[in-house]
Amino acid sequence: MANRFQLPNLGLGVGLRSPHFGYILENKPSVDWFEIISENFMDCRGYPRAILEQIRESYPTVMHGVSMSIGSTEPLNFDYLKKLKILANEISPEWISDHLCWTGIAGLNTHDLLPMPLTEEALAHTVERIKTVQDFLERPLVLENPSTYLEFEVSTMNDWEFLGRMAEEADCGILLDVNNIYVCARNHGWDADQYIRSIPADRIVQFHLAGHEDCGTHIIDTHNTHVIDEVWELYRMAHQHVGQDGASTLLEWDADLPEFPVLMDEVAKAKNFMGQSRGESASVPGSSNGLPKKGSRHSFPHPPHFIPAE
Protein backbone atom coordinates (compact mmCIF):
# COMPACT_ATOMS: atom_id res chain seq x y z
CA MET A 1 0.00 0.00 0.00
CA ALA A 2 1.43 3.36 -1.08
CA ASN A 3 -0.21 5.72 1.45
CA ARG A 4 1.00 6.12 5.02
CA PHE A 5 -2.40 5.17 6.47
CA GLN A 6 -2.30 1.68 4.95
CA LEU A 7 -5.66 2.35 3.32
CA PRO A 8 -6.22 -0.02 0.40
CA ASN A 9 -6.08 0.72 -3.31
CA LEU A 10 -9.66 -0.21 -4.17
CA GLY A 11 -9.12 -0.01 -7.92
CA LEU A 12 -11.54 1.81 -10.23
CA GLY A 13 -14.87 3.05 -8.92
CA VAL A 14 -17.82 5.30 -9.69
CA GLY A 15 -20.18 7.44 -7.65
CA LEU A 16 -23.32 5.68 -6.46
CA ARG A 17 -26.32 7.62 -7.83
CA SER A 18 -30.00 6.71 -7.44
CA PRO A 19 -30.85 6.46 -11.20
CA HIS A 20 -28.42 3.54 -11.39
CA PHE A 21 -29.69 1.57 -8.37
CA GLY A 22 -31.78 -0.83 -10.44
CA TYR A 23 -29.08 -1.52 -13.01
CA ILE A 24 -26.45 -2.21 -10.34
CA LEU A 25 -28.61 -4.63 -8.37
CA GLU A 26 -29.74 -6.48 -11.48
CA ASN A 27 -26.44 -6.66 -13.36
CA LYS A 28 -23.75 -6.63 -10.65
CA PRO A 29 -21.35 -4.63 -12.87
CA SER A 30 -17.62 -5.24 -12.66
CA VAL A 31 -16.82 -1.88 -11.10
CA ASP A 32 -14.43 -2.26 -8.15
CA TRP A 33 -16.09 0.07 -5.62
CA PHE A 34 -18.60 2.85 -5.03
CA GLU A 35 -18.38 6.28 -3.45
CA ILE A 36 -21.50 7.68 -1.78
CA ILE A 37 -22.33 11.29 -0.94
CA SER A 38 -22.50 11.13 2.85
CA GLU A 39 -25.31 13.66 3.19
CA ASN A 40 -27.58 11.57 0.94
CA PHE A 41 -27.65 8.78 3.53
CA MET A 42 -27.06 10.40 6.94
CA ASP A 43 -30.74 11.09 7.64
CA CYS A 44 -32.20 8.34 5.50
CA ARG A 45 -33.64 5.04 6.71
CA GLY A 46 -35.80 4.19 3.72
CA TYR A 47 -35.30 2.88 0.22
CA PRO A 48 -31.84 4.44 -0.44
CA ARG A 49 -30.37 2.90 2.72
CA ALA A 50 -31.87 -0.48 1.87
CA ILE A 51 -30.25 -0.30 -1.56
CA LEU A 52 -26.95 0.78 -0.06
CA GLU A 53 -26.98 -2.19 2.30
CA GLN A 54 -27.46 -4.55 -0.64
CA ILE A 55 -24.69 -2.92 -2.66
CA ARG A 56 -22.31 -3.04 0.30
CA GLU A 57 -22.60 -6.82 0.31
CA SER A 58 -20.75 -6.93 -3.02
CA TYR A 59 -18.68 -3.75 -3.21
CA PRO A 60 -16.39 -1.70 -0.95
CA THR A 61 -17.79 1.73 -0.14
CA VAL A 62 -16.30 5.14 0.62
CA MET A 63 -18.10 8.11 2.19
CA HIS A 64 -17.58 11.49 0.48
CA GLY A 65 -19.05 14.61 2.11
CA VAL A 66 -19.84 18.10 0.88
CA SER A 67 -20.89 19.92 4.08
CA MET A 68 -18.16 19.54 6.72
CA SER A 69 -16.95 23.10 6.05
CA ILE A 70 -13.53 22.30 7.47
CA GLY A 71 -12.13 25.70 6.44
CA SER A 72 -14.87 27.79 8.05
CA THR A 73 -14.23 30.19 10.92
CA GLU A 74 -17.52 29.14 12.51
CA PRO A 75 -17.49 26.38 15.17
CA LEU A 76 -17.47 22.82 13.93
CA ASN A 77 -20.96 21.43 13.53
CA PHE A 78 -20.95 18.51 15.95
CA ASP A 79 -24.54 17.60 15.19
CA TYR A 80 -23.39 16.99 11.63
CA LEU A 81 -20.30 15.12 12.78
CA LYS A 82 -22.37 12.88 15.07
CA LYS A 83 -24.59 11.86 12.15
CA LEU A 84 -21.52 11.30 10.01
CA LYS A 85 -19.96 9.06 12.64
CA ILE A 86 -23.16 7.07 13.13
CA LEU A 87 -23.38 6.42 9.39
CA ALA A 88 -19.73 5.39 9.29
CA ASN A 89 -20.20 2.99 12.20
CA GLU A 90 -23.20 1.46 10.45
CA ILE A 91 -21.78 0.98 6.95
CA SER A 92 -18.03 0.65 7.71
CA PRO A 93 -16.63 2.68 4.81
CA GLU A 94 -13.03 2.26 3.76
CA TRP A 95 -12.52 5.95 4.63
CA ILE A 96 -14.34 9.30 4.94
CA SER A 97 -13.52 12.27 2.73
CA ASP A 98 -14.66 15.86 2.29
CA HIS A 99 -13.36 19.09 0.71
CA LEU A 100 -10.79 21.70 1.70
CA CYS A 101 -13.22 24.62 1.68
CA TRP A 102 -15.97 26.37 3.63
CA THR A 103 -19.64 26.07 2.72
CA GLY A 104 -21.54 28.82 4.51
CA ILE A 105 -21.85 31.28 7.36
CA ALA A 106 -24.23 32.07 10.22
CA GLY A 107 -25.58 28.53 10.12
CA LEU A 108 -26.53 28.77 6.46
CA ASN A 109 -25.25 26.22 3.94
CA THR A 110 -24.65 27.70 0.49
CA HIS A 111 -24.24 24.19 -0.98
CA ASP A 112 -21.10 25.51 -2.65
CA LEU A 113 -17.45 24.63 -2.08
CA LEU A 114 -16.10 28.11 -1.37
CA PRO A 115 -12.39 29.03 -1.71
CA MET A 116 -10.14 29.79 1.24
CA PRO A 117 -7.45 32.42 1.75
CA LEU A 118 -4.15 30.55 1.66
CA THR A 119 -2.37 32.08 4.65
CA GLU A 120 -0.42 30.82 7.66
CA GLU A 121 -3.34 31.78 9.90
CA ALA A 122 -5.83 29.84 7.75
CA LEU A 123 -3.50 26.85 7.64
CA ALA A 124 -3.05 26.69 11.42
CA HIS A 125 -6.80 27.11 11.93
CA THR A 126 -7.66 24.35 9.44
CA VAL A 127 -5.05 21.95 10.82
CA GLU A 128 -6.50 22.23 14.33
CA ARG A 129 -10.03 21.63 13.03
CA ILE A 130 -8.91 18.55 11.09
CA LYS A 131 -7.26 17.12 14.19
CA THR A 132 -10.46 17.67 16.16
CA VAL A 133 -12.57 15.97 13.49
CA GLN A 134 -10.20 13.01 13.23
CA ASP A 135 -10.21 12.55 17.00
CA PHE A 136 -14.00 12.68 17.01
CA LEU A 137 -14.44 10.27 14.08
CA GLU A 138 -11.63 8.03 15.36
CA ARG A 139 -10.22 7.64 11.87
CA PRO A 140 -8.12 9.67 9.41
CA LEU A 141 -9.90 12.28 7.33
CA VAL A 142 -9.20 12.51 3.60
CA LEU A 143 -9.58 16.00 2.08
CA GLU A 144 -10.03 16.99 -1.56
CA ASN A 145 -8.64 19.98 -3.44
CA PRO A 146 -11.73 21.78 -4.83
CA SER A 147 -12.17 23.72 -8.05
CA THR A 148 -11.98 27.48 -7.49
CA TYR A 149 -12.92 30.48 -9.55
CA LEU A 150 -11.14 33.30 -7.71
CA GLU A 151 -8.09 33.82 -5.52
CA PHE A 152 -7.54 36.00 -2.45
CA GLU A 153 -5.07 38.87 -2.52
CA VAL A 154 -4.10 38.08 1.08
CA SER A 155 -2.86 34.57 0.18
CA THR A 156 0.80 34.01 0.98
CA MET A 157 1.25 30.53 -0.51
CA ASN A 158 -0.01 28.57 -3.48
CA ASP A 159 -2.68 25.90 -3.42
CA TRP A 160 -0.40 22.87 -3.54
CA GLU A 161 1.85 24.17 -0.76
CA PHE A 162 -1.19 24.74 1.47
CA LEU A 163 -2.61 21.29 0.67
CA GLY A 164 0.68 19.48 1.25
CA ARG A 165 1.51 21.28 4.49
CA MET A 166 -2.04 20.77 5.76
CA ALA A 167 -1.79 17.02 5.19
CA GLU A 168 1.58 16.76 6.92
CA GLU A 169 0.75 18.97 9.90
CA ALA A 170 -2.74 17.55 10.50
CA ASP A 171 -1.67 14.00 9.63
CA CYS A 172 -4.59 13.54 7.23
CA GLY A 173 -4.99 12.08 3.76
CA ILE A 174 -5.48 13.75 0.38
CA LEU A 175 -8.11 13.07 -2.24
CA LEU A 176 -6.37 14.49 -5.30
CA ASP A 177 -8.96 15.61 -7.84
CA VAL A 178 -7.06 15.72 -11.13
CA ASN A 179 -9.86 17.46 -13.00
CA ASN A 180 -9.97 20.19 -10.33
CA ILE A 181 -6.25 20.75 -10.79
CA TYR A 182 -6.78 21.24 -14.51
CA VAL A 183 -9.77 23.55 -13.93
CA CYS A 184 -7.80 25.72 -11.48
CA ALA A 185 -4.73 25.76 -13.72
CA ARG A 186 -6.82 27.16 -16.53
CA ASN A 187 -8.77 29.56 -14.33
CA HIS A 188 -5.80 30.97 -12.41
CA GLY A 189 -2.76 30.35 -14.61
CA TRP A 190 -1.27 27.68 -12.36
CA ASP A 191 1.22 25.01 -13.45
CA ALA A 192 -0.75 21.75 -13.17
CA ASP A 193 2.36 19.58 -13.53
CA GLN A 194 4.08 21.34 -10.65
CA TYR A 195 0.92 21.00 -8.56
CA ILE A 196 0.91 17.21 -8.91
CA ARG A 197 4.64 16.78 -8.37
CA SER A 198 4.55 18.94 -5.24
CA ILE A 199 1.96 16.87 -3.36
CA PRO A 200 3.45 14.37 -0.87
CA ALA A 201 2.77 11.04 -2.59
CA ASP A 202 2.31 9.05 0.61
CA ARG A 203 -0.63 11.29 1.59
CA ILE A 204 -2.60 10.57 -1.58
CA VAL A 205 -5.33 8.04 -0.76
CA GLN A 206 -7.63 8.58 -3.75
CA PHE A 207 -7.99 10.27 -7.14
CA HIS A 208 -11.07 11.89 -8.67
CA LEU A 209 -11.66 12.23 -12.41
CA ALA A 210 -14.52 14.15 -14.01
CA GLY A 211 -15.67 16.19 -16.96
CA HIS A 212 -16.09 19.96 -17.01
CA GLU A 213 -17.54 22.77 -19.09
CA ASP A 214 -15.02 24.92 -20.96
CA CYS A 215 -16.50 28.41 -21.37
CA GLY A 216 -13.46 29.72 -23.20
CA THR A 217 -12.43 32.38 -20.70
CA HIS A 218 -12.86 30.01 -17.77
CA ILE A 219 -13.81 26.43 -16.86
CA ILE A 220 -16.66 25.27 -14.61
CA ASP A 221 -16.42 21.97 -12.77
CA THR A 222 -19.76 20.48 -13.86
CA HIS A 223 -19.25 16.67 -13.65
CA ASN A 224 -21.61 16.23 -16.59
CA THR A 225 -19.50 14.90 -19.45
CA HIS A 226 -16.49 12.83 -20.47
CA VAL A 227 -12.98 13.38 -19.09
CA ILE A 228 -10.87 15.27 -21.66
CA ASP A 229 -7.50 14.05 -22.95
CA GLU A 230 -5.53 16.72 -21.06
CA VAL A 231 -7.01 15.56 -17.75
CA TRP A 232 -6.26 11.94 -18.61
CA GLU A 233 -2.65 12.96 -19.25
CA LEU A 234 -2.47 14.64 -15.85
CA TYR A 235 -3.94 11.48 -14.32
CA ARG A 236 -1.16 9.44 -15.92
CA MET A 237 1.37 11.76 -14.29
CA ALA A 238 -0.42 11.62 -10.92
CA HIS A 239 -0.58 7.82 -11.00
CA GLN A 240 3.14 7.71 -11.77
CA HIS A 241 3.81 10.16 -8.93
CA VAL A 242 2.07 7.92 -6.39
CA GLY A 243 4.12 4.91 -7.48
CA GLN A 244 3.57 1.29 -8.38
CA ASP A 245 0.98 0.61 -5.67
CA GLY A 246 -1.21 3.39 -7.06
CA ALA A 247 -4.29 4.88 -5.39
CA SER A 248 -8.01 4.30 -5.63
CA THR A 249 -9.54 6.10 -8.63
CA LEU A 250 -13.11 7.30 -8.94
CA LEU A 251 -15.02 8.71 -11.90
CA GLU A 252 -17.46 11.48 -10.91
CA TRP A 253 -20.48 12.08 -13.15
CA ASP A 254 -23.24 13.91 -11.29
CA ALA A 255 -25.34 15.78 -13.90
CA ASP A 256 -26.78 14.71 -17.24
CA LEU A 257 -26.25 11.16 -16.06
CA PRO A 258 -25.76 8.61 -18.86
CA GLU A 259 -26.63 4.93 -18.70
CA PHE A 260 -24.38 2.98 -16.35
CA PRO A 261 -22.42 1.17 -19.12
CA VAL A 262 -21.27 4.58 -20.38
CA LEU A 263 -19.73 5.21 -16.96
CA MET A 264 -18.04 1.83 -17.10
CA ASP A 265 -16.54 2.61 -20.51
CA GLU A 266 -15.26 5.93 -19.20
CA VAL A 267 -13.69 4.61 -16.03
CA ALA A 268 -12.07 1.76 -17.99
CA LYS A 269 -9.94 4.35 -19.78
CA ALA A 270 -8.01 4.81 -16.54
CA LYS A 271 -6.41 1.41 -17.06
CA ASN A 272 -4.69 2.72 -20.17
CA PHE A 273 -3.11 5.59 -18.27
CA MET A 274 -2.12 3.33 -15.39
CA GLY A 275 -0.31 1.26 -17.99
CA GLN A 276 1.40 4.34 -19.41
CA SER A 277 2.66 5.31 -15.95
CA ARG A 278 4.46 1.95 -15.91
CA GLY A 279 5.88 2.45 -19.40
CA GLU A 280 3.43 0.12 -21.12
CA SER A 281 2.01 0.83 -24.56
CA ALA A 282 -1.65 1.81 -24.50
CA SER A 283 -4.33 3.63 -26.45
CA VAL A 284 -7.21 5.78 -25.34
CA PRO A 285 -10.64 4.29 -26.07
CA GLY A 286 -12.74 6.73 -28.04
CA SER A 287 -9.83 9.09 -28.79
CA SER A 288 -9.59 10.23 -32.37
CA ASN A 289 -5.87 10.99 -32.23
CA GLY A 290 -4.43 8.29 -29.99
CA LEU A 291 -2.56 9.27 -26.85
CA PRO A 292 -2.29 12.81 -25.55
CA LYS A 293 1.10 14.34 -26.18
CA LYS A 294 3.67 13.38 -23.60
CA GLY A 295 6.09 15.90 -22.14
CA SER A 296 3.72 18.86 -22.53
CA ARG A 297 3.64 21.43 -19.75
CA HIS A 298 0.20 22.07 -18.33
CA SER A 299 0.69 25.68 -17.33
CA PHE A 300 -1.67 28.41 -18.42
CA PRO A 301 -1.61 32.21 -18.47
CA HIS A 302 -3.75 33.94 -15.86
CA PRO A 303 -7.08 34.84 -17.50
CA PRO A 304 -7.50 38.63 -17.35
CA HIS A 305 -11.12 38.46 -16.16
CA PHE A 306 -10.24 36.53 -12.98
CA ILE A 307 -9.57 39.35 -10.51
CA PRO A 308 -8.19 38.18 -7.14
CA ALA A 309 -10.67 38.86 -4.35
CA GLU A 310 -9.86 41.30 -1.62
Segment 7-56, tens digit of pLDDT: 999 999 999 999 999 999 999 999 999 999 999 999 888 899 999 999 99
Neighbours of 13 (CB within 10 A): 21
pLDDT for res 290: 31
pLDDT for res 300: 59
In the predicted model, is pLDDT for residue 285 greater than 70? Answer: no
Say what angle helices 159-170 and 120-137 make with each other, to 10 degrees.
40
| pLDDT tens per residue across span 226-258 | 999 999 999 999 999 999 888 999 999 999 999
pLDDT for res 283: 39
Angle, CA 138 vertex, CA 137 and CA 142 arms, to 5°: 70
pLDDT for res 45: 80
Give this prediction's pTM. 0.89
Task: Round the average pLDDT of the chain to a whole number and report it.
Answer: 89
| pLDDT tens per residue across span 178-210 | 999 999 999 999 999 999 999 999 999 999 999
Percent of the chain at pLDDT exceeding 90: 79
| Alpha-carbon gap, residue 250 to 37, rounded angstroms | 13
pLDDT for res 308: 36
| Alpha-carbon gap, residue 152 to 156, rounded angstroms | 9
Which of the pair, 299 or 265, is modelled with greater confidence? 265
pLDDT for res 65: 97
Delineate the domains of the chain, giving CATH numbers in brackets. Answer: 12-277 (3.20.20.150)
In the predicted model, is pLDDT for residue 275 greater than 80? Answer: no
pLDDT for res 307: 34
pLDDT for res 43: 87
| pLDDT tens per residue across span 68-90 | 999 999 999 999 999 999 999 99
In the predicted model, is pLDDT for residue 302 greater than 70? Answer: no
In the predicted model, is pLDDT for residue 164 greater than 50? Answer: yes
pLDDT for res 265: 93
| pLDDT tens per residue across span 202-217 | 999 999 999 999 999 9
In the predicted model, is pLDDT for residue 301 greater than 70? Answer: no
In the predicted model, is pLDDT for residue 115 greater than 80? Answer: yes
Q: Nearest-CA neighbor of 197 among 223, 219, 178?
A: 178
Which of helix, strand or coil describes residue 267?
Answer: helix
Percent of the chain at pLDDT exceeding 70: 88
The upper half-sphere exposure of residue 15, i.e. CA atoms within 13 Å in the direction of its Cβ, equals 21
